[in-house]
């Protein structure tokens, strides 16, 4: 059996299955302190063994350098108790040394969406894709030519600085590090800080929709213009606001102004896998880990 964990700041989703497409059992636990949460996850997974591979898509920041002694750690998170937590090696050891694959939650989601795209394209897995999640924070994963991109650490699209919308100049932003970065302007808490309710609770004619769409569209334009991804997939709770993905796509086309050479092929879409991208991506990490032994 392959085992997968989508490790989030509020919940851990656990799953097992023979292949990434055949999850046969799943379980959700609350994210509490690291020792309690990891022990509970390991106990549930162990009861569904024997396991041949474990994949973890984790909230971060995380260490992805295989040569680092901290590989598989959550590093500098502000989440109380979790900074410097060994996740990957700890869980592998707790599960009898099972091979483990580890990446960010959004790179895992990007991998799964990339594979779903390839299936739709008749198996052509050459494309490139970014996955942006908009929820309590904003994160981004990137798959270029079929491989997740890490760089020196991993992408953090949430913390780029967009140009301010003309009707949104006074709001200081909510990011504790940057104030008015993308996350500080467009994540769920920034919406509530300005307008008192979530984006999906604002009336359809409220200017907040265009303001949020503008910021996310700028991030998509950055991705199209800098790394020339073919698709940007927009997931997360805020992105489920009716009409938002369409607004973002329309605004991004306006921002491009017909310039980019790949413009006609650029797409901004909702996740093909709905809310299953993250856990499916963790299953893919498990499959790869099992194959590598
Ligand atoms: Zn920031």
Among 236, 233, 5, 1, residue whose Cα is nearest residue 102? 5
Residue 261: per-residue pLDDT: 84
Residues 166, 30: Cα–Cα separation, whole Å: 40
Three-class SS state of 248: helix
Q: What is the dihedral of CA 278, 283, 284, 286, to 10 degrees?
A: 130
Residue 66: per-residue pLDDT: 92
Residues 272, 93: Cα–Cα separation, whole Å: 34
Residue 79: per-residue pLDDT: 87
**Angle between helices 277-292 and 105-120 in degrees, nearest 10:** 90
Residue 153: per-residue pLDDT: 85
Q: How far is the CA of 118 from the centre of ligand 1 (A)?
A: 32
Residue 120: per-residue pLDDT: 86
Q: How far is the CA of 180 from the centre of ligand 1 (A)?
A: 7
Q: How far is the CA of 223 from the centre of ligand 1 (A)?
A: 17
Q: How far is the CA of 278 from the centre of ligand 1 (A)?
A: 22
Three-class SS state of 234: strand
Residues 72, 58: Cα–Cα separation, whole Å: 9
Q: How far is the CA of 150 from the centre of ligand 1 (A)?
A: 19
Q: How far is the CA of 215 from the centre of ligand 1 (A)?
A: 13
* CB of 232 closer than 8 Å to CB of 130: yes
* CB of 3 closer than 8 Å to CB of 48: yes
User: Domains of the chain by range and CATH?
Assistant: 2-106+275-292 (3.30.420.40), 122-272 (3.30.420.40)
* CB of 55 closer than 8 Å to CB of 287: yes
Q: How far is the CA of 173 from the centre of ligand 1 (A)?
A: 9
Q: How far is the CA of 155 from the centre of ligand 1 (A)?
A: 13
Q: How far is the CA of 140 from the centre of ligand 1 (A)?
A: 13
Token pair 């901290």: residue: 70
Residues 57, 47: Cα–Cα separation, whole Å: 21
Which residue(s) pair with 143 in the sheet? 129, 148
Q: How far is the CA of 91 from the centre of ligand 1 (A)?
A: 30
* Residue pLDDT tens, the chain, 293 long: 999 999 999 999 999 999 999 999 999 999 999 999 999 999 999 999 899 999 999 998 999 999 999 999 999 988 899 999 999 999 999 999 999 999 999 999 999 999 999 988 888 877 899 999 999 999 999 999 888 999 888 888 999 999 999 999 999 999 999 999 999 999 999 999 999 999 999 999 999 999 999 999 999 999 999 999 999 999 999 999 999 999 999 999 999 999 988 788 899 999 999 999 999 999 999 999 999 98
Which two three-digit tokens encode residue 159? 């913390």
Which two three-digit tokens encode residue 262? 């790949």
- pTM for the predicted model, two decimal places: 0.95
Q: How far is the CA of 138 from the centre of ligand 1 (A)?
A: 9
Q: How far is the CA of 195 from the centre of ligand 1 (A)?
A: 20
Burial class (CB in 10 A: 0-12, 13-18, 19+), 62: buried
* CB of 62 closer than 8 Å to CB of 74: yes
Q: How far is the CA of 157 from the centre of ligand 1 (A)?
A: 9
Residue 116: per-residue pLDDT: 95
């Amino acid at each position: 059996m392959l085992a997968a964990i989508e490790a989030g700041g509020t919940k851990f989703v656990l799953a097992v299955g023979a292949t990434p497409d055949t999850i046969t059992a799943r379980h959700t636990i609350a994210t509490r302190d690291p020792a309690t949460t990891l022990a509970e996850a390991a106990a549930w997974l162990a009861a569904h063994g024997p396991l041949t591979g474990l994949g973890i898509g984790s909230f971060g920041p995380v260490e992805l350098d295989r040569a680092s002694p901290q590989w598989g750690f959550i590093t500098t998170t502000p989440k109380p108790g979790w900074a410097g937590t060994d996740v990957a090696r700890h869980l592998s050891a707790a599960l009898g040394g099972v091979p483990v694959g580890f990446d960010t939650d959004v790179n895992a989601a990007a991998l799964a969406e990339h594979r779903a795209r390839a299936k739709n394209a008749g198996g052509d897995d050459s494309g490139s894709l970014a996955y942006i999640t908009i929820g309590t924070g904003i994160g981004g994963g990137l798959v270029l030519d079929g491989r997740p991109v890490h760089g020196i650490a991993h992408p953090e699209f949430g913390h780029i600085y967009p140009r301010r919308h003309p009707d949104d100049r006074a709001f200081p932003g909510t990011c504790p590090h940057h104030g008015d970065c993308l996350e500080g302007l467009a994540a769920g808490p920034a919406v509530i800080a300005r307008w008192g309710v979530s984006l999906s609770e604002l009336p359809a004619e409220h200017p907040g929709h265009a303001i949020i769409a503008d910021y996310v569209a700028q991030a998509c334009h950055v991705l199209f213009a800098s790394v020339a991804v073919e698709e940007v997939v927009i997931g997360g709770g805020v992105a489920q606001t009716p009409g938002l993905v369409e607004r973002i796509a329309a605004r991004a086309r306006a921002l491009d102004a017909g310039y980019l050479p790949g413009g006609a092929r650029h797409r901004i879409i909702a996740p093909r896998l709905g809310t299953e991208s993250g856990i499916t991506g963790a299953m893919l990490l498990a499959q790869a880990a099992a194959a590598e032994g």
